[in-house]
């Protein structure tokens, strides 16, 4: 009973938040009211035309001053209800870019309202999954939300399973917003990547529903009697069939556009399919876990052995973020079979690594790789840590036939110049974030190929400029 009393205020808050979401009818009303008031603002374009500036008159975008903004707010409140107040606050007008006359474009205001509505809807959906009311989600709870919005058609086209897509998306979001294996609902809701994903999935769902309805209407009209009348004119049934086919074509175009929008996002089904194919290629024995030897083929042998050992030690433990309880036993079996004591890397851990490796300059990637570089686990790096990692790079460098005259001390001095840490013997994650070269430093300490690119950066830049041709 006490638990129910604690959850009741939270449930009421979620219900109130859900009422703030704009429906399709609300969006139509909002657009109509905006256009009606923005038309009057086109008088400014008429003044420009009177002055002979026809180009400015033609390019003038319908805008709203603050008085018109408040008028729109009043009409929307009457038509939509109190929910309109959330979208038409004074801070909203000040947040949007304004022209020289202090007016905001009607289109920009409309897009802001749609984005705000989508964010509120996402916050409510994720809040429902947070049964404990802690404000944070477990990865499994995030996967529940993803499973509710799985783009089946797009996944089928890319030959990727629902589980693989959900795992790839959840791993990326956990990297970006995860803290100790949990994701803050507030941070995830404010994430531009999550909002992009949510908008793409909802647009795809709406397009699929419209396409299904149009196809059903088209089938129904084709089933009726049609043809021409006695005077050669089209019968009403034939006219209805033509309209239904036109609506079906429009719905198909809308669906294709929605699918393309999802494919162009950071969480595309094609990306998940590529990750699964790459993982299967590396998993030589097909047991669903990558050993250190198998993972070494990811970089074609250019990542140092120490880097791989540290990756597995820090990010491939038995507490896999998305693994089931049975996976811990698989880890233990792998460790006993290999005799190395190192657990294997499962597909979720592989997805997280790939996301961090591709975006090494991202702050989330620094949080991922800094524990790998921190050999002592003391929360900061010393010159000894940097020397230990680059010594492995130097050994691979010589083994690959590069010049042995390379001085380790000179490279470490360059790394120190890139970091610009106040205390070279106490390098913190904040120093990595602040220097702006975190991705470069991480790469040249872990992968000899990335060090080669750094060492030959000037020659590579000249080649790129020559390929681009004269400006």
Asked whether the predicted pLDDT for residue 313 surpasses 60, the reply is yes
The whole-number pLDDT of residue 328 equals 37
Over the chain, what is the mean pLDDT? 78
CA distance 304 to 393: 6
Residues ≥6 apart with Cβ < 8 Å to 266: 172, 193, 196, 197
Q: Picking from 140-149, 188-197, 210-219, 347-356, which range would have the lowest pLDDT averaged per residue? A: 210-219
Tens of pLDDT, residue by residue over 430-467, are 999 999 899 999 999 999 999 999 888 888 777 777 77
Model confidence pLDDT, tens digit, residues 350-400: 999 999 999 899 999 999 999 999 999 999 999 999 999 999 999 999 888
Q: What are phi and psi of 381, to 5 degrees?
A: -105, 150
Q: How far apart are CA 456 and CA 471, in angstroms?
A: 23
Highest average pLDDT, of 166-175, 187-196, 210-219, 223-232, comes from 166-175
Could you give the angle at the alpha carbon of 150 between the alpha carbons of 344 and 193, nearest 5°? 75
CA distance to 139, 140, 142, per residue, from 145 (Å)? 10, 9, 5
Mean pLDDT of 32-41: 76
Rounded to an integer, the average pLDDT of 297-322 is 81
Helix (H) or strand (E) segment spanning residue 183? strand 182-184
Return the number of other C-beta atoms located less than 10 Å from residue 238's C-beta.
17
Looking at residue 470, what is its pLDDT?
Answer: 64
Q: How far is CA 307 from the centre of its chain?
A: 27
126 neighbors 152 (Cβ within 8 angstroms): no
The least confident of 1-10, 18-27, 90-99, 264-273 is 1-10
- Delimit the CATH 1.10.238.10 region(s) of the chain: 359-471
Do residues 319 and 325 touch, judged by C-beta distance below 8 A? no
As a whole-number percent, the residues of the chain with pLDDT over 70 amount to 71
Residues contacting residue 156 through CB under 8 Å, at least 6 positions apart: none
User: Cα dist. 163→83, 272, 465 in Å?
Assistant: 37, 10, 43
The DSSP string of 97-158 is ---TTS-EEHHHHHHHHHHHHHHHHHHHHHHHH-TT-SSEE-HHHHHHHHHHT--HHHHHHH
Q: Are 420 and 430 in contact (CB under 8 A)?
A: no
DSSP 133-150: -SSEE-HHHHHHHHHHT-
Is pLDDT at 230 greater than 80 in this prediction? no
- Greatest mean pLDDT among 79-83, 156-160, 249-253: 79-83
pLDDT value at 239 more than 50: no
pLDDT value at 317 more than 80:
no
Spell 319-354 as b/e; 16+ CB within 10 A means b.
ebbbbeeebeebbeebbeeeeeebbbbbbbbbbbbb
Determine whether 227 is exposed, middle or buried from the number of CB atoms within 10 Å of its CB (0-12, 13-18, 19+).
exposed
Q: How far is CA 59 from CA 35, 45, 101, in A?
A: 16, 8, 16
Q: Which of 411, 399, 398 is nearest to 443 (CA)?
A: 411
Q: Which CATH class is domain 359-471?
A: mainly alpha
On the 0-12 / 13-18 / 19+ scale of CB atoms within 10 A, 311 is: buried
The two three-digit tokens of residue 91, written as one number = 């801070």
> Quick one: pLDDT at residue 327?
36
Over range 138-143, report the average pLDDT: 83
The mean per-residue pLDDT over the stretch 76-85 comes to 86
Residue 130 sits at φ, ψ, to 5 deg, of -80, 75
């Amino acid at each position: 009973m006490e638990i129910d009393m604690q959850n009741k205020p939270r449930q009421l808050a979620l219900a109130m938040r859900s009422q703030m979401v704009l429906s399709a009818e609300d969006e139509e009303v909002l657009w109509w009211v905006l256009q009606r008031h923005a038309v009057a603002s086109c008088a400014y374009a008429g003044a420009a035309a009177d002055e002979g500036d026809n180009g400015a008159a033609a390019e003038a975008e319908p805008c709203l001053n603050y008085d018109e903004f408040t008028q729109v707010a009043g009409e929307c409140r009457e038509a939509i209800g109190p929910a309109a107040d959330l979208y038409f606050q004074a801070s909203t007008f000040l947040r949007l870019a304004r022209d020289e006359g202090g007016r905001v474009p009607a289109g920009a205001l409309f897009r802001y309202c749609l984005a705000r509505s989508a964010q509120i809807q996402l916050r409510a959906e994720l809040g429902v999954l947070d049964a404990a009311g802690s404000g944070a989600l477990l990865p499994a709870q995030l996967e529940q939300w993803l499973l509710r919005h799985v783009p089946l058609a797009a996944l089928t086209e890319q030959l990727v399973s629902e589980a693989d897509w959900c795992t790839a998306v959840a791993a990326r979001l956990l990297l970006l917003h995860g803290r100790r294996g949990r994701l803050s609902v507030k941070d995830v809701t404010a994430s531009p990547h999550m909002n992009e994903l949510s908008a793409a999935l909802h647009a795809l769902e709406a397009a699929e529903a419209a396409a299904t309805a149009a196809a059903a209407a088209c089938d129904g009209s084709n089933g009726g009697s049609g043809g021409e009348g006695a005077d050669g004119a089209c019968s009403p049934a034939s006219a209805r069939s033509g309209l239904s086919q036109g609506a079906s074509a429009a719905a198909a175009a809308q669906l294709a556009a929605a699918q393309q929008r999802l494919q162009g996002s950071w969480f595309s089904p094609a990306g998940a399919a590529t990750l699964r194919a790459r993982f299967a290629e590396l998993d030589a024995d097909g047991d669903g876990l990558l050993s250190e030897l198998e993972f070494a083929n990811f970089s074609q042998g250019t990542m140092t052995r120490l880097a791989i050992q540290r990756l597995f030690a820090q990010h491939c433990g038995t507490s896999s973020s998305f693994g089931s309880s049975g996976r811990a036993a698989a880890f233990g079996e792998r460790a006993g079979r290999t005799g190395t004591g190192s657990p294997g890397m499962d597909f979720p851990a592989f997805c997280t690594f790939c996301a961090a490796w591709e975006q090494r300059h991202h702050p989330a990637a620094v949080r991922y790789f800094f524990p790998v570089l921190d050999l002592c686990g003391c929360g900061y790096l010393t010159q000894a840590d940097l020397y230990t990692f680059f010594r492995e790079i130097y050994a691979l460098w010589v083994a690959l036939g590069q010049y042995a005259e390379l001085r380790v001390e000179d490279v470490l001095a360059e790394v120190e110049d890139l970091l610009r840490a106040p205390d070279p013997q106490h390098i913190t994650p904040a120093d990595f974030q602040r220097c702006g070269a975190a991705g470069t430093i991480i790469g040249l300490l872990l992968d000899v190929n990335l060090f080669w690119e750094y060492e030959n950066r000037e020659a590579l830049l000249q080649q790129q400029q020559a390929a681009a041709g004269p400006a």
